[in-house]
Each structure stands twice: as C-alpha cells, then as structure tokens.
Structure 1
Amino acid sequence: MKYTLYFCLFVSTILSAQTSTISLEDIWKDGTFRTERLDALHSMNNGQEYSVLNFDRASRSTSIDIYDYKTLEKVKTLVSSADLEAIPYFTNYTFSEDEQQVILATKEEAIYRHSALGNYYIYNTKDGSLSLITEDKIQEPTFSPDGKKVAYAKENNLYVKDLTTGVVVQVTVDGEKNKIINGITDWVYEEEFAFVRAFDWNADSSKIAFIRFDEENVPEFSMDVYGTELYQTQQVFKYPKAGEANSDVSLHVYDLNSNATNSVRVNKAYNDFYIPRIKWTNNPDVLSAQYINRHQNELDLWMINAKSNTSDLVLAEKDKAYIDVTDNLTFLKDNSFIWTSEKDGYNHIYHYDKKGKLINQITKGNWEVTNYYGYDENKNTIFYQSVENGSINRDVYSIKLNGRNKNRLTKSEGTNNASFSADFSFFINTFSSATTPPEYTLNSSESGNLIKSIKDNDKLSQSLSEYITSSKEFSTISVNGNDLNMWMIKPANFDASKTYPLLMYQYSGPGSQQVANRWNSANDYWYQHLAQEGYIIACVDGRGTGFKGADFKKVTQNELGKYEVEDQIAAAKQLGELPYIDASRMGIWGWSFGGFMSSNCLFKGNDVFKMSIAVAPVSSWRFYDSIYTERYMTTPQENASGYDDNSPINHVDKLKGDFLLVHGSGDDNVHLQNTMRLAEALIQADKQFDWAVYPDKNHGIYGGNTRLHLYKKMTHFIHENLGDKIQKEEVTEVSKKVKIKG
C-alpha cells in the first residue's frame, strides 16, 4: 500500500497544474458537485404564478416567494421566517385550496422514510396572522377544502380543529402505540405503499374518510439505540415479516355534521387484504377505495356511497404476477376516471366511465408510460411522461382524451420531467442527461417550445471542466437471450492495449432502473474517482428491471435473485472477454436489493467475481417485510424453495473471493438481523470476510462524517482486492522517471 499512496500523491501533484482529480472529500464532505434546484415548487391557482421555498444563507431564514411564469421575475415574498417571531425557519408549506392560508412546517423530526412529527403553524396570507395548530407534535395536518378546518393525527388518533372557533374535536379515542393507528399508516404501508396520511376530506368538507390499523397481532421488532448515554435504549415497533400477521385494516367515514363515525362495508368478503388508496370523487357522497388481496395480484376499485353506506365494484384487475398501486387515479367532472394499467403488457393510460365501463385506451404501444401529470378539461388533453424515445430516456407528451393528436413536448434527449401550471398553460421542465446537469426551463404546454430558462447548473459544468472525468458510454449487451441496457465508464486516459480491473454496480430490484440517461448521482462521482484510479466501472440492468414491458419485469416472479443473478454473472463473463478487461480482477457491489444481489453474485459466481461489497443487504427474504416480499414471492409457507434457493445466507459455502459486509444498526427497513445472520453463517462455514456496522444509522447510512467514512472504507477495499496489480504497474512506470522515497 506504500507504493499506491506515493503514486496517488505524485499523480495528483503532476495533474494539479492542468486539471484536478475528484476526491472523496469533494463528493461527501465539501459538496463540490452539489446541484442547484427548485424546492417545494407549487403552481398557484391563477395558472400565471408559482411559488418556491427559498433559503437565505445570510439571515438563515426561509421564505415562500411568488414568481411570474411569463417573466420569471419574483412578484413578492408571501411570507418569510425572518418576519415571524415564533418561527426561526420552516421546512415545508401547504396551501389551503383558496390559497388564503398556508401551513408552515417547523421542528420536524423524521420517524421513518416518509413520516415526520412536527410543529405546524397556519399563516393567513390576507392579514399576516400566525397561529399554532397545537402545542403538541402532530402528523399530516391537512386543510379542509373550504379552508375552515384542519385535520391532523396525534398519538395515533385523528383530530379536527375549527379554525374559526378554535374548537378541537377528537375523532377517534382508541389510538395506542403498537396497537391501534387511526388515519396514519403503519410501518409497512408507509414503506411499501409510499403514503403516510391515511385520511381524506370530501369535496364539501363535511366528511373525512380514514383507515384504521389494528396492529396488535403484528409481531414486534426491536432495535438497540446506542446513543451517548451509559445504557442503550430500544426502539420497538410492529413489523410484519413475510408470511407473518399484518395489521387488520378497516375503512371508516366521519361525518362532521352529526359527529358520528360509520364503518364502511363493501359487497365482497375479503380475507387478509390491503387498502392501499382512498380518494373522494367529485361527488361529496362518493368515496373511492382500492382493495387488493395479500398476493397483490387482484385489485378492486370500489365506489362507496357514504350517505347510503352502499358500495359498487367498478373495476377489477387481475395479473398472473402482481399489480402496481399508483396515485394516477383522476376523476373528471362527470366522475368518469383516468386509470393506468399494465393489462396489455405495457403501462398505459385508460379512460373509464363512472360505472367502470371502458371508454377507451388512451395510449398504446410497446413502451411504458412512466408518469401521469394530469388532465386539462378545457382542452380535453392529458399530459404524461414516457419512454417512447428509448427506455433509458424520458420525454413529456400531450394527447387528447380520445387518444388522438399525440405531441412530444420535450426536445432534448435525456430525462425530462414536467411540473405543470394549475391551468396547464405552462410547464416547468427539469432536464438532465449523462452529460448535462439539471436545467429548469419554462415551456409552452401547446408546443413544448422554450419560453425562458429559469435555472441551470452552468457553474457546476464549468467547475467540472477543471476535473478529469470520463464519459458514461451507453450500449446494450446480449445476455441470456435479452438485449440488456448497460453503461460503462473508462479511465480518461484509457488505452485499449492495456488491461483494467472491472467494478460492476447494480440494484436489480423489480421495476427498477440504474441505466438511465440522467445526471450524476453522488455514486457517479465516486465512479469517476475510481476511473481516475484506473478502474473500469459498468452497470447492467438485467431481467426484472423496469420500463421494458411487464413480461421482462415480472419474469423474476416467485424467484427473486435467480434470473437477476444469472444475468449479472453472464454479463461479467462477457465483459471479461474484452481485451482491455482483466477477467481475474472483477468485482461487484450494491446496496439494499443490490447488496442481496452482490452477495449472491460473489457466492454463486465464485469463478467470475474476485470481490463483492454488500451494503444493507437482504440475506434471506424470510427476514423482510410482508408487502414487498409477498408481492414478488407470495408467502414463505407457499413458496419455501423460492425464498431459500436464492437467498445468500444459504450459499455461504461457495464463497471464494473477498467480501465486505456493511450495515447500519438502526436500519428499520432491512434489519441488521440480515447481516448478523449472514455473518454467523459465514463464520460457521469457516469463511473469512470483512464487515462494518455503523452505530444507530438507518438504511441510508448517513449523517455527519458517516458517508465519507463508508466510501473511504469501500474504496480501500476495492484497492486492496482489485487494484494492487494496476497500481503497482503504474508505480513502476512512474518510478522510472521519478525517484520515490520511502
């Protein structure tokens, strides 16, 4: 390692006069490559203005600033924390429907991935008054449509506050930690159905629908929290692992006029089911609710009349594998609705009448709709994002409700994402590609034509021009009968006559995508750093990943880790045949599902991979949560071989290479149990490995110096196990010219 150290120092000194190398401190300490962005963008009701959350570094204050779409000039500051004695800062905001009031979030404390507790104030935009909703920390405060009330959750119960009288009504009284939750999702719903607020106001502000979670029979999981005190504490929470008891869920409607709560009964008997979405229609008496079976391959859309307490099943979807739950359901004025589905083999947009009769399929083709933006009733036009221009790209389109007059609104090849004005006359497009950092532009929704540039990252581009960087080369690789998307990064001074070690990265989870034409993540800068050190880095999206049709994505059903691992191993073998890649020095790494994959690849591909890094890996699907795991695997009671045949913990005897295992002890998602059980299996198999546990860190393993420490550890491990040969070769060449002391 002494030779490697001197070599790096020497090269940095030589190159500093001409161009700079990317350091780990640049990436994870100094924020050198941080991008400018628009935070908390909200389109105002008039369709001509938008608001943004801004932070003033000088005064350390936050503000909601209003801008004009056409001129992009700031019209006014709606509110600034510098002018509010009670709030030194706020971190988010939510307007009432008439925009005369705004909820300001402050002192928020994260609970899990999406949830938080905080203090919330209501600011009146007309008279400038400010009032605290309640002294207690609460969750998900939400205005009623008429702006006269706000509903919120506190300590697992639901409350409604009258903003005129100040009177607070406690809607539910049975809420209790780790037993009953009203109006807020339990852990597994939050993580896997990606929502926290499990209550919704109806159109005339007279009713609130909410989901009640009875999690008393859900097994508890506990994590030690080491902190700084003499004795550690414990975090104990309900976590249903695959095959274990879920919360019993029920749907209820609270009537504000009668102060009564009714239970909703639908005309179908369900056993062990989920309610992943509720949403009121435009009719204040009609609530929509989506019910899905535990296998998640049968989804029912119900229309529930809260006045008569009757229900109608308007849509029933079935799939041989699973059905994705989305937020795309949109009700038109006549209560007909927009729906997205994979039922023809690709994700597309459909229009149904209010009874669930299909009016027409709006988009069609062997490509995927990747985002649904909304419907402009005045122009009878739908706006959406898709991969029609190649599965690694994203473009924004408009199309008439009848499926005609499709128009591509974005022009640049890469990743385009739109935020439309309230009246759909404009959209702010966020564009990036592998070569272009994010650009924010104002565009016409008619033609897509550029009106004005809002914000770019030219300073970052200019700064990057001073660094040695390599292009990300996109291609496809034919593996196991499929053309798989791939990117590769080579050293800037790449010489095809030499051989280089290869590090592969993947995630590979169902429906995911890592090979995309978009701007760099922090990991990409790390790959540039590794390329500067003489490595080739590659990423292949194998079977099971997304945006190439349902069959390609769902082929892994019931056998997670089989086809995905086969594809990574086969791809590595092909890459190892390239004359400039040293097949004896190939490694792979990944995080979460990617950690599960990289472990399996090293064990099962022990003649291919020399090393692997697994961060926060699932080591057995028996340890992971019910909703995610059973969506793809059914239960372990039904599919024991699918769980066990492809879990790393059952293949430790095959380990030959070098293995680094990393986890956070406070990971509420993929529990440290996965790593502890895998470590024990490796020990009992007499297999040597390296590992690191980061105290009290969650699934993201961050905070303070943590990320820098982690990536230094991983970089060192790569150098130790893949890089020695190349470093020593380069040192020999350098030492011919320069005398190295020591």
Structure 2
Amino acid sequence: MKIAKLSLLFLFLGSFLFAQNQKFTIAEAVNGLRSNLAVKNISQFSWADDGKSYYQSAKNAYMVTDLASHKGDTLVSLYQLNKNLDLDKKLKTFPRITFITKDKGYFTQDSNYFWVERSGKDWKVRDWINIDKEAENIEMLSDNEGFVYTVKNNLYLNRNGKIVAITDDSEENIVNGQAVHQREFGIEKGIFISPDNSKIAFYRMDQTMVGDYPIIDWSVVPAVNKNIKYPMAGTPSHHVTLGVYDIKSNTKRFLNIEGDPEQYLTAITWSPDSKSIFVGVLNRDQNDMKMNQYNALSGNFIKKLFEEQSDKYVEPQHPLLFFPNSNTDFIWQSQRTGYNHLFHYNVDKGLVAQLTKGDWVVTEVLGFNEKKKEIYYVSTQVSPLERHLYKVDWTNFKTQRLAQGVGMHTGILSKDGSQLYDFYSNATTPRVVNVINTNTLKTRNILSAENPLKNYDRPEIKNVTLKADDGTPLYGKIILPTDFDANKKYPVIVYLYNGPHAQLVTDSFPASGNLWYEFMAQKGYIVFTMDGRGSSNRGLKFEQAIFRHAGETEMKDQLQGVAYLKSLPYVDADRLGIHGWSYGGFMTTSFMLKHPDVFKVAVAGGPVIDWNMYEIMYTERYMDSPQNNPEGYKQANLLDKVQNLKGHLLMIHGAQDNVVVWQHSMNFLKAAVDHGVQMDYFVYPGHEHNVLGKDRVHLMQKVTDYFDEYLKK
C-alpha cells in the first residue's frame, strides 16, 4: 500500500509539474488569446435605459441583472424565439439582439431585419425590413422607422419598406455616404442622421482626379485587376463635399463650404435641434483648422466658432459632444496645450473653460451625469502605461478618480451617468469587471477572471525605463528566456513599431504584451520592445519629434534600447534580430540599411519603403509634402540604400495590400537585384495589409523559422 501511495504521489507531482510547464504551440502563441486561451469576459454588455439593470449574452440567451437585488434572470432564450416560428424560419443559433427596451429589440440575419417583442410570457419575432444584399455602411434612424445605407457608390433610404435613392451618381468614382480621407482624422463613417430624423447629411467624394492603382486578385484564372483610388503624397487629392437630404421634401443640397477643394472636412456634428451642422475644415497642409457652423436647411455658412493652428500639424480626431439637453454648449477635444484635453465651448460665447489640464492625455470620453454636472473620461493621468476612470464637475472643474486597481481601465457609462461598468487588466490580472455607483463610488465585482495561462511555462518580464537624448523617459519591456541562466549569452529579438497612433508597452495582460514573445522566450530568445518618440499617448512634443524626418528620431531612441541590451552580460551582441510590421516594417528595413552593423537578422512586414508612395493624409501630416520637404523624403527613402544591407533580411507583404501598396516591396526587390544584393521575400496572396486568421499562424511560423535559421546559431 505504501508503494502504491508513493507512486500516486509521484504521479500527482509529475502531473503538477507538467501542468506548470506547458509550452505554447505556435497556434496558441498567435491566436490563443482569441480562442482556447481567451480570458473570460462578460459578453455583449449593455445598460438598460434606466440604469437599474444591465444585459449580457449567455449561451443561447440574453440575461438581465437587476442592480438592486443583484439577481440575474433570463430575458429571452433561443427556445422562446423559436417557439412561435414556423419550422422553415426557426433560428439555428441565438442572434445578436439590440434592445431598445427590455421588452423590445431587433436583430439582423441575411440582410433581413426582425423585431423581437415580449408578449406576456412569450416572445414574438416578426419581419421588419429587408435590406439590399449589397448594402453597406448601414445606419439606423433613431426613431426605428428605417435605415440609410449605400449600395456601391450611391446612398439609399429604406423607411418602413419604402426605398428612396438619395443619390444617383453614375460615375463610379463619385462616392456617396462612405468614409473619406482614407479614414484619417477620426473619420469612421460617411452618413450622419440628424437627431430628429428629418435630414441625412452625407459625404460625397469625387475621386475622378485621383490616379488609379491596381490591386490584383490572383485567386481566379485569369487574374483580375480591381483599380482603387489611392492618393499618394504630393499628388492630386480627392474633393469632398457634404450633402444634406431632407426626408420630408425629398430634396438635397450641399453645404456652401468655401476653400481649396482638396481641404479635409472633419468632425461632422449635428446640433441637437437638427438646425445646424458643424464641420472642422482643415487645410491640405493640415496646420489650420476652422470649426464652422452651417445652416442645415439652406447650406449657408453661419459663422466660425474657433480656429486652431500649428507650425507642424493640427489633427482633429473627435466630433463635438453636446452637453445633455443643450443646443449651445459642447465639449471639444484638443491638443492645443500639448496634450489632448477637454474644452467647454458655447456656440454663441466661444470658449467657456478648459475642463481638464495636465501633462497627460484624455483618451476617451464616456458620457455625462446631467444631474451632478459631471463628465466621465479615461486618461493617462496616473501614468502613460495605465488608463484610469475619472469624473470632472463641469462647473468647478473638481476631478475625482473613480476606480482603484493598477493597469488599463475602460468603462461603459449608463445613460443617466449613475452607474459605470469598469473593466481592467494589468500584468498579473487577466480581467476584473466591476459596477461602480458614480454617486457613492460603491463598487461591486461581477467578474474576476482566472488566468488562462497558469499552466504554461511563462518567462520573467522586466519593465525598463531608458532616456532619449533629450532626457525624455522611454518605456520598454525585456522578456527573458524561460530557462534563463545569467551566466549564458542569448540571442535577442527587438520588436518595434514606433510610429504614430500606436503604443506597444502598457500595464495590461499578459505582461509580455504578446504570446508570440513568450513563445520565443520558451525557445531561448530574449525579446525586447520599447515605445520611442513618435508613438502615441505621450503628448504632442513626444509624437511630433519625428516631424518631416520619419525614421530618424525613432532610430535614435531604439538605439538607446540596443545600447541597454548590449550592456547586459547575458546578451549576445553579435546575435541581435529585429522585427516589425507596417511602420515597424519601415523601421526594421531602415535599421538594416542605415545601421547595417547593429542587427544580424531582420523580418520586415508590409514596410513603407518610399513615403512618396504612401497616402496623402497620413504622410503629409508627419512628413509635409514632397514638394516642401524633398530632403526629408530623400532621407527616409530606402530604395537608394539597399546596397548597404549586410545581414539577413526577410521581407513579407500581402498581395492585396491597399494600405502600404505592394509596389513598396516590389520596388525594393528591383533595387536589390540592380545592386546584386541578396535578400529573402515572401508574399501572402489574398491578404491585405495584415495577415489575419489561420494564415497568421503560417506567417509567424515563417518569422520564427527565419530567426531560428540565422539568429539562434
């Protein structure tokens, strides 16, 4: 018996040790956090209109939870929906329902919209509206009486089944109702419905003057070319106007917006009374923005509310946000002080007050509590590596932090502002979800997720703070091999992006920031990543350090990281590798050509090679135009530097990339051939700028194999 018990003990200990030392598969390293290693979450959370309960999806059902009693109950189930449906109409899976009230909602299936309504103890499903199968950019009227959408390049209204063509442009390069300006300036859509549902504002983009660019579909024989309009830096840009369609009179007119036809129309906002439209008119140089008010009925200019100018660039990112029940007072988000903050404006009086101040940025506005005169927001007030929730009194500017717990917080505010759904993670906390009473700050936990990685062999991760040449702190992470021995020397992979609108290093889960880093640590690599100047959430000075000279300041900062790595006794300075995608691919290639003795091996994905071939809006913001900054463009151009390559370079590109077009890397290949330079190259047919889905596993296996072949030895 003793022998048997001892055997069982060894078996238990062996299983325990194995459980603590699992290795990531490449599939888990790439997609695990979205599949079998996903952190438990509350799915499809939303507040009830009264703020006294909330909804969430469960298996084949929606649940409603009462805040006062904390009691959860089934709101509607798949069984209840199917109970009154004919056999041929029964639902196989539970649909995603948008609730208007707790007794009524709607869902869509195969371009058909259905109402779901409570009838006593039962629920009934009835047909509502059928939308064209080719419909895109669908927007719903707030009175629930219909939809506005696009089919190809024109705009349509379907109101209670009656379809009206709002536009009828036969020229395919005149596009209505879609996002414009390459989705820069915070632009996400092209349809703007007035609050009273009487009018529809929409973008109209004339692209006829923009050159065609070929995107080849290789999946058919023979291959088929689809031209897109891609305005490259320094070339003619499209012309955008803003139309207004009056539903009652079935008429449309365009706002009388004066100025250069190549200017940018941003921050489109309806006044709450539906009488005016506000437009941020930004010049093509992007250094002068006028916030103008226009009459929605006549289209005529009313007045300029304010103007923002810069010696570098102005970048509006958000529409006006009107205070509750006010036609005159609104919040404007601006970086004019060097950091993104909230400003209270009045349509008639102008600037009322700056609501938030400090050397930190507001990253999101969550909403209002009208009774308490409070605005709720997310900011980097504690640290650029964290996000926290705050409220500010808009009358006396008193600010209060709402939730504890270090890390990255975000929230969903109830309609009346009385309740806040707070969810966050940090390096050691996968996810915590709390409900906060914004009046009392009493907090109730509704989820503390277990660590899905607890059985895996995890590396030690150290936070690193370095200094740029001007003393600016730079935040990074070093991930050590799982079998780390300080007496050994290890190869290092530097992963970087270091471009605008991105931040790699935050206090979030997992601490590494990416399971592929941990996968490589299990294979015996050190992985290092750092956000240098040019990246986001550190203020304008930090971001604008790259202005007119893309790649230069960023490389100086990343070289500080290299110097730090070389100072470590366990780093093999002769085995440094580098990897990045998009702007990171540009940085990776730049390093291999401008500092060819630093890195032995590089993998550059979707890289910008020549900024003359990147789109106008982004490029001219950070680089000015090629005509005004020829030296900066020449300095950043990598085509005439390919002969400097010494190490091993693998370049990867999506064959249908419509962001960094394929010609960037094709031209680089031609330059390599012309100079007799050997390099490696791989293309992903069917993929645009990013390689996603199951093929991403193939991509990261290729990247891994390349480092194994040339860096690990």
Q: CA 1:585–1:273 in structure 2 vs 1: closer, same or farther (change >3 Å)?
A: same
From 54, 63, 66, the counterpart of 1:68: 66
Matches within 5 A, 1:379-528: 379-453=372-446, 455-458=447-450, 461=451, 463-481=452-470, 482-520=472-510, 524-528=514-518
Relative to structure 1, is the Cα distance of residues 170 and 336 closer, same or farther in structure 2, using a 3 angstrom cutoff? Answer: same
Q: 1:154 to 1:208 in 2, by over 3 A?
A: same
Q: For residues 580 and 501 of structure 2, what CA distance do their matches in structure 1 show?
A: 16
List aligned pairs for 1:342-741, cutoff 5 A.
Answer: 342-355=335-348, 357-453=350-446, 455-458=447-450, 461=451, 463-481=452-470, 482-520=472-510, 524-704=514-694, 706-724=695-713
CA-to-aligned-CA distance 1:476-504 (integer Å, 9 cap, x gap): 11232332111111123322222221111
Match status 1:169 vs 2:161: no
In the alignment, the residues of structure 1 paired with residue 188 and residue 405 of structure 2 have an alpha-carbon distance, to the nearest angstrom, of: 36
**Aligned AA (1:231):** P
- Say if 2:178 is the partner of 1:184: yes
Task: Name the counterpart of 2:305.
Answer: 314
Gaps of 5+ in 2: 1-13, 119-123
Q: Which residue of 2 aligns with 1:48?
A: 52
Within 5 Å, which residues of 2 pair with 1:251-290?
Answer: 251-266=242-257, 268-290=258-280
Q: Is contact 2:191–2:200 with CA below 8 Å preserved after alignment?
A: yes
Q: 1:88 Cα shift? A: 4.8
**Alignment match, 1:25:** 27
Matching residue's letter, 1:42: S
CA-to-aligned-CA distance 1:628-677 (integer Å, 9 cap, x gap) = 11111122222222122113323212111111111111112111111111
Is the Cα–Cα contact under 8 Å of residues 19 and 455 in structure 2 kept in the other structure? Answer: no
Q: Which one-letter code corresponds to 2:310 in the other structure?
A: D
The two structures have a TM-score, normalised by structure 2, of 0.90
Say if 1:595 and 1:122 are closer, same or farther in 2 by CA, change over 3 A. Answer: same
Q: Who is 2:228 aligned against?
A: 237
Aligned to 1:152: 149
User: Residue 568 of structure 1 aligns to which amino acid in structure 2?
Assistant: Q
Q: Is the 8 A contact 1:340 1:347 kept in 2?
A: yes
For residue 18 of structure 1, report the CA deviation from its aligned partner.
5.7
Give the aligned partner of residue 326 of structure 1.
Answer: 317
Task: Write the letter of the residue equivalent to 2:107.
Answer: L
Aligned pair count reads 683
Deviation at 1:444, TM superposition (A): 2.1
Provide the rounded CA distance (Å) in 1 between the counterparts of 2:170 and 2:658.
22
1:18–1:249 distance in 2 versus 1, CA, 3 Å: closer
Contact 2:432 2:445 (8 Å CA) reproduced: no
- Separation (CA, whole Å) in 1 of partners of 2:614 and 2:91: 40
The answer for the alignment partner of 2:4 in structure 1 is: none
Farther off after superposition, 652-661 or 641-650:
641-650
Deviations 1:212-237 (A, max 9, x none): 1111121111111122x432222322
Shift of residue 601, structure 1, vs aligned partner: 1.2
Shift of 1:517: 0.8
Are the aligned partners of 2:368 and 2:416 in contact in 1 as well (CA < 8 Å)?
Answer: no
Could you give the per-residue CA deviations for residues 53-84 of structure 1, whole angstroms, max 9, x where no partner exists? 5564xxxxxx5554434556544445759636
- Structure 1: which amino acid aligns with 2:46? H
For 1:301 and 1:102, the matched residues in 2 are separated by: 37
* Counterpart contact for 2:361–2:379, Cα < 8 Å: yes
Aligned pair partner of 1:291 in 253, 260, 281: 281
Normalising by the residue count of structure 1, what TM-score does the alignment of the two structures yield?
0.87
Partners of 2:94 and 2:198 in 1: CA distance: 30
2:215 aligns with: 223
Amino acid at match of 1:139: E
User: Structure 1 stretches of 5 or more lacking a match?
Assistant: 1-11, 57-62, 108-118, 725-742
| Contact 2:605–2:652 (CA under 8 A) maintained in structure 1 | yes
Deviation at 1:105, TM superposition (A): 3.9
Change (3 A) 1:293 1:103: farther
Q: Percent same amino acid at aligned positions?
A: 29
1:4-32 deviations in Å (ceiling 9; x for gaps): xxxxxxxx999747621222133346633
Q: Secondary structure at the match of 1:378?
A: coil
Aligned to 1:104: 107
Kept in 1, the 8 Å contact 2:191–2:201? The answer is yes
Cα deviation for residue 95 of structure 1 reads 5.6
Comparing 287-296 and 655-664, the one that deviates more: 287-296
Structure 1 position 202 matched with structure 2 position 204 = no
- Find the aligned partners of 2:424 and 2:176 in 1 and give their Cα distance: 40
Residue-by-residue CA offset, 1:140-164 (whole Å, 9 max, x unaligned) = 332323322322222222222222x
Change (3 A) 1:670 1:403: farther
Given that 1:89 and 1:106 are in contact with CA atoms closer than 8 Å, whether structure 2 keeps it comes out as no
Partner amino acid, structure 2, of 1:123: W
In structure 2, give the amino acid aligned to 1:443: I
Residue 337 and residue 680 in structure 1: after superposition, are their counterparts in 2 closer, same or farther (change >3 A)?
same
Q: Distance in 2 between matches of 1:658 and 1:692?
A: 14
Q: Give the direction of change, closer, same or farther, for the CA distance of 1:102–1:321 in structure 2 (3 Å limit).
A: farther
2:7 is matched with which residue? none
Query: Could you list the per-position Cα deviations for residues 395-419 of structure 1 after superposition, in whole angstroms to 9, with x for gaps in the alignment?
Result: 1111100353311112111101111
Distance in 2 (alpha carbons) for counterparts of 1:236 and 1:664: 16
Moved more, 312-321 or 268-277: 268-277
CA RMSD of aligned residues (A): 2.6
Amino acid at match of 2:460: S
* Structure 1 runs of 4+ with >6 Å offset: 12-15, 98-101
